[in-house]
Structure 1
Amino acid sequence: MCRVPARRTSTSILLSCAAIGVGGGLVAGASGYLAAAFAAFGPMLYGLTAGTHFLPSVVALALLRRPGTGLLTGLIAGLVGAAFAPWWFWRYVGTGLLVGALLEIPFLIARYRRWDPWLFYVSGAFAGLVLAIGVFFALGAEHYAWWAWVIALAAWVLSPVLFIWIGRVIARALERAGVARSARVVASRE
């Protein structure tokens, strides 16, 4: 029987994902209440808050440049966000996992060898579109005018792109501060 050595993930990578996930979960938890207000009073603007769910996964992927960090960080952010609204537990956790997975797709296709900025933006726009289509049908497309859906779909696609830009700015600032240095050194030795 052929045994493939298990790829270990260093403690510093896990702790970095946890710290980023907690910070992102706090932002997502707070934005959940804003999203609820938008859903009740201006559903076409609901998508403006969707980008906050992208923030932790983007920071993790851009900073750590490791497979699975977007997914793990999205899960942690979802768990933390759900602590602020337990009745939305599966909404936070599911969104964190879905966003993390959708953001990882282009990097997976590139075998995690390329970390070009455009990959982040393409994956974010695609993920925003996937979420927008789901919400489009969940809210009942037939109840709204076409122009309302144009505004809503634009908000769902542009909000993730904006938060990807913010997440990449945060990741660069953390990298300049030396936050990822120890995690990358340990990861390169594995």
Structure 2
Amino acid sequence: MHRTSTRVLLSCAAIGVGGGLVAGPSAYLAAAFAAFGPILYGLTVGLHFLPSVVALALLKRPGTAVLAGVIAGLVGTAFAPWWIGRFIGTGLLVGVLLELPFLITRYRRWDPWLFYVSAVFSGLVLAIAVFIGLGAEHYAWWAWAIALPLWVASPVLFTWIGRVIAARLARAGVAQLPSREARPG
């Protein structure tokens, strides 16, 4: 049985808390977009990708995206407790969707393009869900032509930002593991 070190768990917790401190207040921005400019609502979804991307890119361990995303959701609920299901559900869903390509490769490949494939796929899944959930018939075709690409572009943008943050943290030595805790792949 594979054991996860305390160092990895605490790193996920720290990343998740940082992500929750960003995602929590941004929920109010998302609510404002949903109320006053719903075609721009997709711009805010990418913020939920930050903790999961940073954890996965920095730690390169199975489950770190899911754990960091759920912790970020828990911390986000401190800002809006009535959205607990939305925060935790989004953190869990984003973490799982981000890890899919890495799971398929059995966590042996960490190529940058896998992160972006995952972001595009996740954005499409979320866009389709919102498209169905909001009811496409309530909006003009041009509104969806603007909104749906934003749902895909936002996760890609925040995946890039998350990878930049992870690379800078790695250069600073934040994720250095002792030699007995060698990274997979």
* TM-score, normalisation: structure 2: 0.96
For the 8 Å contact 1:24–1:55, the answer to whether it is kept is: yes
CA distance in 2: counterparts of 1:171 and 1:13, whole angstroms: 14
Alignment of 1:136 onto 2:136:
no
Of residues 13, 16, 29, the one that matches 1:18 is 13
Alignment of 1:80 onto 2:71:
no
CA distance in 2: counterparts of 1:76 and 1:157, whole angstroms: 24
Q: Structure 1 residues 186, 93: closer, same or farther in 2, change over 3 A?
A: farther
CA distance in 2: counterparts of 1:185 and 1:158, whole angstroms: 38
For the 8 Å contact 2:74–2:84, the answer to whether it is kept is: yes
Cα drift, residue 185 of structure 1: 3.9
CA distance in 1: counterparts of 2:10 and 2:108, whole angstroms: 23
For the 8 Å contact 2:60–2:183, the answer to whether it is kept is: no
User: In the alignment, what sits opposite 1:99?
Assistant: 94
User: In the alignment, what sits opposite 1:31?
Assistant: 26
C-alpha RMSD of the superposition: 1.3
After superposition, the C-alpha distances for 1:45-65 in whole angstroms (9 at most, x for unaligned) are 000000000000000000000
For the 8 Å contact 1:68–1:104, the answer to whether it is kept is: yes
For the 8 Å contact 1:9–1:187, the answer to whether it is kept is: no
Alignment of 1:41 onto 2:49:
no
User: In the alignment, what sits opposite 1:187?
Assistant: 181
Of residues 138, 144, 160, the one that matches 1:149 is 144
Specify every segment of 5 or more residues in structure 2 that has no aligned partner in the other structure, as ranges.
none
CA distance in 2: counterparts of 1:81 and 1:38, whole angstroms: 18
Of residues 115, 132, 135, the one that matches 2:110 is 115
CA distance in 2: counterparts of 1:85 and 1:137, whole angstroms: 25
Q: How many residues align?
A: 184
Q: Structure 1 residues 54, 48: closer, same or farther in 2, change over 3 A?
A: same
Cα drift, residue 12 of structure 1: 0.4
Cα drift, residue 150 of structure 1: 1.1
After superposition, the C-alpha distances for 1:110-146 in whole angstroms (9 at most, x for unaligned) are 0101000100001001001101111111111101011
Give secondary structure in 1 for the equivalent of 2:97: helix
CA distance in 2: counterparts of 1:38 and 1:153, whole angstroms: 14
